[in-house]
Amino acid sequence: MLYTAKCFWPGVTEDELRLVVGRTDPSRGAAFRGALYLVRDELVLCLFDAPSPEVVKQASEHAGMPCERVIDTVWVEP
């Protein structure tokens, strides 16, 4: 399943974000697929493939992301 970890992250920089996503660990059961960094909103939306929302929350927080919510997600291509 595809999930989005919604991370409200005031003050994070792009460089800090890159360091944190580099710490994501697929052996924790959640495969990091990428992120959208909404600078003015201080929000990062991280995409994960994982078996459950709980696994995504644990993986996000273990990497250092302040995950406030995990959302079921559907990828739509043009």
Each residue's pLDDT tens digit, 5-59: 999 999 999 999 999 999 998 888 999 999 999 999 999 999 999 999 999 999 9
CA distances from 10 to 27, 51, 53, 57, 60 (A): 28, 29, 23, 19, 16
Domains of the chain: 2-72 (3.30.70.3090)
- What residue type is assigned to position 8 of the chain? F
The pTM is what? 0.91
